[in-house]
Chains A and B, each alone.
Chain A
Amino acid sequence: MLDRNIAPDFKQIEEVTFIHAKKHVLANKIPVFVGNAGEQDLVRIEFIFQNTSWQLDKPLMPSVTNSMLTEGTHSLSSAQIASKIDYYGAFFQPEYSYDHSSLTLYSLNKYVGDTLPLIKEMLTGSIFPQKELETYLRNQKQKLKIALEKNSVVAKRLFTETLFGDSLYGYPNQLEDYDNVKRENLLAYYQKVYHPANCTIVISGKIDDSVLKLVADLFGNWSSTEEVTEFKVSFKSSDQKLHYIEKQDALQSAIRIGIPLVNRTHPDFIGLQILNTALGGYFGSRLMNNIREDKGYTYGIGSGIASLQHAGYFFISTEVGVDVTPQTLTEIEKEVNLLKTELIGEDELGLIRNYLMGSLLGSLENAFSHADKFKNLYFFGLDYSYYDRYIETIKSISPEELMRLANQYWDYDSFYKIIVGKM
């Protein structure tokens, strides 16, 4: 007779296999990392450039330069680039993040010979045409106007600004910034950042030698005129801990709470990730259990740790009914403090260990995700032994160590607290 009260036996995940990226170097010294795996005849080729400049009087320059890569070159208009790429069923994506500016191609293998030259056009011959620039700025400004009507967006912007001031990491774009972008500044930034000495190429998918040869032929003789200069992000956090923006008609308040924190290179980082998982890092976390599943104050609440090259931060984020905003803050404080004063039980910790191992295994779904794991290491100067440590720490970290970390890094009074809404 089937006894449904008893859970089936299960196995611990002991082994996780990483597909290591293999390094090649082009004639002009561009490092190329290749992660070869998969069944589908697809390839992703990423061109990644370090952000190496920040000028407060030209805050949009890095991000707009990146977006405008697709908007026209010496020989092709924006529409021509887009239709050529689309014609071959490929996708391209410029992406601007805290530390990098990149341009990524997703293509069927059989068409890489047709699609990759377009990427070269954009990386070496973009002209930032005035008309397209105006279109772009006009539309982005409208989008920002709409985004600023969302409490969660306002809270997020204010949060990073509170933590990182007016640095590259903290500055929130203002509407009027879109009126002050000059084409010549974009061209200058393009010169300074998008060149081989500042470039890393990451290729993933089903890769054969012909793809590598094509990359070498197209990009190996691209020459640098610029040197890479050392770049640091320095910032000063706000003196004020609590920032409350009242919105009269709000139905919900957006809450963000957190602090700057160590990044992935620090020995405590992995332990802090495990501690964060307990607090708000998964569906069964303490914050979710208490504030959503027990009290029904919110659709969702979570916490996370972000690792940037020159900093890191810890954050808790939620949107809650305006009538329960103060209660939510009290409960968040309570949950943070509990992890500092009471040892986490073996039952809960065991669950977290298994959950994190399963989620690591699941995060390595395909060649692209293996390459993403590699980037997490490479841009922090780490190697694959980091993941050995990661797995070892998940399996062995003690409740005492987690409590020590909570006490060393978390002090609710010193957290920055952003509330946008009503209470």
Chain B
Amino acid sequence: MVKFERFTLENGLRVLVHEDDTTPMAVLNILYDVGARDENPEQTGFAHLFEHLMFGGSVNIPAYDEPLQRVGGENNAFTSNDMTNYYITLPAVNLETAFWLESDRMLSLAFSEKSLEVQRNVVCEEFKQRYLNQPYGDVWLKLRPLVYQKHPYQWATIGKELSHVENAKIEDVKAFFKKHYNPQNAIMVVGGAIKFAEVKKMAEKWFGPIEAGEKYKRNLPQEPIQKEEVKSTINADVPSNAIYKVFKMPGKMEEGYPATDLISDILSQGKSSRLYQNLVQQNPVFSDINSYNYGSIDTGMFVIEGRLLPGIKVEEADELIWKELEHLKALPVFEDELIKVKNKYESAKEFEEMSLLDKAMNLAFYELFGDANLVNTDKENYLKVTATEIQAQAQTLFNREGATTLYYLAN
């Protein structure tokens, strides 16, 4: 159970406070409701590049990291297709420094040309390191556009191509800031050895004077239902053949999400799971096979990816995956199997609560999904899923015409 209180500043900034006196530390987490899905298709990778620029100095504070380290703090951030999240961990006695730093960069950035130039390079190196310079690294750059015809999930957060990042201009940076980085589009969570009243006072002092800005109204093209199977093949210098199979699935807070999430656990969580038992252990076809989903807010991706053992035909391996999926459609899962994945889900949540930062982030995520209190109640949506619902969900998900399959083959 994660207890929290909330208030909203006049400028629209939502603040959640989680008191936890078992630690001497505090966390300040700010989530901005902007991700790669909000980018212009001709300027992809921008939300993520922007995240880097948020560390390049703000209007009154030339350097962001240095003053924070000086008070014993650390920070980082990440960008996804749905959101951009920044977090600070520091000794609770020095919490005000976090307020000072975060409020100044919400107020305005320094917009330094030097910072833009350097971070363009840094992001290009990140692009190479994570997506280009390793085996299978580019798979999502290739797969996303096959899966999504209309929705901006068709590009990865790093961007479609290096040139989009290389061509970013300071005017674009300013416009992006104005559009997305204001109190109305942000959710702040403060947690740790702090008191609600004290947080409220600091929030009013540092964030209160920031102008509300304009509320960004999201209007994204929704993805139509897929009516035809998509198949594609890539040949590259990789050590073994691989299959990637994607099905469209409900968004994070939509009907059917928990059942779908549990299906991926039944298929591939641990050594007692179906894909491991049947396609790695008993009938060795894959060296490695996994199913997972992206937890996206809009229509998401349910993924099965496997690396084939030498000498196995890729089409045959593909059919063996289908056989497992058909099995889920034809028969309800065993009661024990369902209890197992539910228990595992429940205890994983319990372990998460050992980490202050995880708790703070989860509050912010769920607030974005609709209500922070879902952090405590979403569990019920998982625990009530029945074997019949799993079967029905499998029937909805796993159809040939809704499948996108990529064969990633060794040269």
Give me the interface of A with B, judged by CB distance under 8 Å. 2, 4-5, 7-11, 13, 17, 38-42, 70, 78-83, 86-91, 106, 108, 132, 135, 138-139, 142-143, 145-146, 148-151, 249-252, 282-284, 292-299, 319-321, 350-351, 354-355, 357-359, 361-362, 365-368
Contact = CB atoms under 8 A, between A and B. Distances in A.
A107 to B, nearest CB: 8
Contact of B125 (A13, A142, A252): A252
A299 B122 CA distance: 5
Interface string B345-361: 11110110111100000
A8 B284 contact: no
B350 A42 contact: yes
B318 interface: no
Contacts of A284: 65-66, 69
Contacts of B134: 149-150
Given A88-B343, A139-B288, A249-B237, 11 more contacts: A5-B61, A42-B350, A79-B281, A89-B343, A89-B344, A106-B351, A251-B132, A295-B118, A320-B125, A362-B25, A366-B354
B74 A283 contact: yes
A422 B168 CA distance: 28
Interface in B161-220: 205-206, 209
11 contacts: A5-B61, A7-B67, A8-B100, A40-B351, A89-B348, A283-B69, A295-B118, A354-B72, A361-B72, A361-B91, A362-B74
Given A7-B97, A10-B94, A150-B134, A132 B281 contact: yes
- B71, B130, B356 interface centre (most CB from chain A within 10 Å): B71
Contacts of A106: 351
Contacts of A91: 347
B89 A362 contact: yes
B352 to A, nearest CB: 10
A374 to B, nearest CB: 17
Contacts of B344: 86, 89
A135 B282 CA distance: 9
A351 B125 contact: no
Contacts of B54: none
A97 B308 CA distance: 28
A296 B49 CA distance: 13
A142 B287 contact: yes
Nearest to B336: A87
Interface string B93-106: 11011011001100
B238 A146 contact: yes
B118 A294 contact: yes
Contacts of B353: 39-40
Interface in B1-59: 22-25, 59
Nearest to B117: A296
Nearest to A92: B270
Given A79-B277, A86-B340, A366 B355 contact: yes
Interface string B269-283: 111100001001100
A193 B360 CA distance: 42
Given A149-B135, A319-B133, A355-B70, A87 B339 contact: yes
B245 interface: no
B244 to A, nearest CB: 15
B90 interface: yes
Contact of A13 (B22, B72, B121, B280): B72
B134 to A, nearest CB: 5
5 A-B pairs with the lowest CB-CB distances in the bound complex, closest first: A358-B72, A296-B121, A89-B347, A83-B272, A142-B287
B194 to A, nearest CB: 14
Nearest to B69: A355
Contacts of B339: 87
A151 B133 contact: yes
B128 interface: yes
A321 B121 CA distance: 10
A354 B69 contact: yes
A5 B107 CA distance: 13
Nearest to B271: A82
Given A143-B287, A359-B74, A252 B128 contact: yes
Contacts of B70: 10, 350-351, 354-355
B325 interface: no
Contact of B309 (A2, A10, A138, A293): A138
A292 B134 CA distance: 21
B91 A86 contact: no
A252 B129 contact: yes
B224 to A, nearest CB: 36
A299 B125 contact: yes
Interface string B291-313: 00000000000000001011000
Contacts of A351: 66, 69-70
A143 B25 CA distance: 39
Nearest to B101: A7
B87 to A, nearest CB: 12
Contacts of B73: 358
A5 B67 CA distance: 12
A296 B115 CA distance: 10
Contacts of A361: 24-25, 72, 91
Interface in B119-163: 119-126, 128-130, 132-136
A8 B104 contact: no
B272 A358 contact: no
B3 to A, nearest CB: 11
Given A13-B72, A86-B269, A142 B288 contact: yes
B373 interface: no
Contacts of A142: 239-240, 287-288, 307, 309-310
B60 interface: yes
Contacts of A40: 350-351, 353-354
- A296, A354, A368 interface centre (most CB from chain B within 10 Å): A296
B97 A86 contact: no
Nearest to B67: A7
- A79, A89, A143 interface centre (most CB from chain B within 10 Å): A89
A92 to B, nearest CB: 10
A321 B125 contact: yes
B272 A86 contact: yes
Contacts of B117: 296
A356 to B, nearest CB: 8
Contact of A365 (B25, B122, B126): B25
B271 A79 contact: yes
A97 B104 CA distance: 45
Contact of B133 (A41, A87, A143, A250): A250
Nearest to B348: A89
B239 A145 contact: yes
Nearest to A153: B134
